[in-house]
Amino acid sequence: MSDTKFTDSGIEVKKLYTAKDLPETDAGMPGDFPYTRGVQADMYRGKLWTMRQYAGFSTAEESNKRYHYLLSQGVMGLSVAFDLPTQIGYDSDHPLAEGEVGKVGVAIDSLADMEILFKGIQLEEVSTSMTINATGFILLAFYVALAKKQGADLHKITGTIQNDILKEYAARGTYIYPPKPSMRIITDIFEWCSKELPKWNTISISGYHIREAGSTAVQEIAFTLSNGKAYVKAALAKGLDINVFGKRLSFFFNAHNNLFEEVAKFRAARKMWATIMKELGATDEKAMMLRFHTQTGGATLTAQQPLNNICRVTIQSLAAVLGGTQSLHTNGYDEALSLPTEEAARIALRTQQIVAFESGAPDTVDPLAGSYYVESLTQEVEKRAWELIHTIDAMGGSVAAIEEGFMQDEIARSAYEYQRNIENGEKIIVGVNKFTVDKEESVPGFKIDDSIRTIQSQKLATLREGRNQTAVDEALVSIKKAATTGENLMPLVIAAVENYCTLGEIADTLRSVFGEYK
């Protein structure tokens, strides 16, 4: 094995760092531009990060039970996972939904399902994050319609929809429409929420899935911030005020095992985004702040010796907290094998709580600031990320770079190199290519019954029989017309879901206008 050491992004790590390695520029103070050291002056001394646990499976009834359990265990915010048909705009009874209903998340076909999902939960009192992209506008409409039914003040509703379609083209694949109409839907959401849902985070620009697809830490922030620039430019082209919509942009990053590189990544990302927003015309401090949610790295979890994953998640949690995250989800140790069991979800949450209340990490702001190594690494991550961003800018921005396959190729190359290093032993994964055991411990799995699709199909049949079909038809015609005229879609989609139009009906109406991206 070579004596030379590198981070996972290929940055060489010196044997020793001294004061000579500190950057010439001062990192500044937390709460001040460019926010390298954090977006709040007191950070966790004022308020801990929001502890979220990502959950959703099977039917709305089953997921509702898990949400009540998590809330009883100390979760501060809910985070909803949706099944694949919901993500790509098909109702559960659609032929293409077969075999996928309720599998990787909860099946939500209509407002009726959303009513069950949040039964006994007042939306005005809980912050909800929804990991949904191509159909994000429909799920937001369901949420708004439910909040109205509960009598909630929409100006007090807080939460986030992921709504980041560009990374779907680059890394994940749950898109429906081509890039241009997809960007139009996103700016419609920005515009509507700025007036009607002012505390809602209208997008969570995601590096998480870019990293899960195999990117390095440097690529994760470079591609994510480039996508962020594209959304801001699209909103500016629509005439929206950067100082208004800029405050509701949030980010979603991954946390992997290389503790110091991950902390450096988060610090560099804050500084870079503040610089980007200032260059694009932001003058309000809050519009320049990079606020982010972190999830521990799903791709780092191993099916071999799965209890080792508890240690991995702990390191990743520390990286997120030391790096200044605003909210955090910790993965269950069994997620390389199945959906997390209740026990695994509880241990994952307890991991955050132990970091919060026993580690001392939240007691002071930006605890690793001034470290010769971390400050040097922050500067090097930033430098390499800017180089990638400038390359993307020269291509015409993120949309052009994705259409040309640049991001996809870069991610694939990094993924290949990482896997090759594991196979040749350069990269050690404990329990996988070293320190293996002859007999693996048995871990109970969590399985979803295939009968979920039958249950959802029956619900849909009952829904369609009981609703006002004339009102449904009129609502869908209004959406189709607005899609062609450029009128903001959000009020019409909300009206449609209030008349119990289904997710698939709304998505199909727009498919007939926008087409599908292949």
Can you give the CATH number for the domain in which 415 is found? 3.20.20.240
Range of the domain at 296: 5-49+129-137+155-423
The answer, yes or no, to whether residue 101 has pLDDT greater than 90, is yes
Write out the two tokens for 321: 């907290």
Kindly state whether residue 82 falls inside one of the protein's structural domains.
no
Provide the domain count of the chain.
Answer: 1
Residue 182 lies in a domain: yes
On the question of pLDDT at 20 being above 90, the answer is yes
Compute the CA torsion angle 414, 129, 455, 344 (nearest 10 deg).
70
Evaluate whether residue 383 is within a structural domain. yes
Residue 376 lies in a domain: yes
Region 126-132 average pLDDT? 95
397: left (phi over 0), alpha (psi -120 to 50) or beta: left
User: Tokens representing 174?
Assistant: 């749950």
Residue 462 lies in a domain: no
- Does residue 84 fall inside a structural domain? no
| 259-301 pLDDT tens trace | 999 999 999 999 999 999 999 999 999 999 999 999 999 999 9
Burial 254-270 (b: 16+ CB within 10 A, else e): bbbbbbbbbbbbbbbbb
- Torsion on CA atoms 460, 464, 468, 472, rounded to nearest 10: 70
| The pLDDT of residue 2 | 60
Q: Is the pLDDT of residue 402 over 80?
A: yes
For the chain, counts of helices (H) and of strands (E): 20, 11
Amino acid present at 116:
I
462 class by beta-carbon count within 10 Å (0-12 exposed, 13-18 middle, 19+ buried) = exposed
pLDDT in tens, 40-63: 999 999 999 999 887 888 889 999
Answer yes or no: is 471 within a domain: no
Please indicate, yes or no, if residue 232 is contained in any of the structural domains: yes
Report residue 489 as tokens: 């879609």
Whole-structure pTM value? 0.94
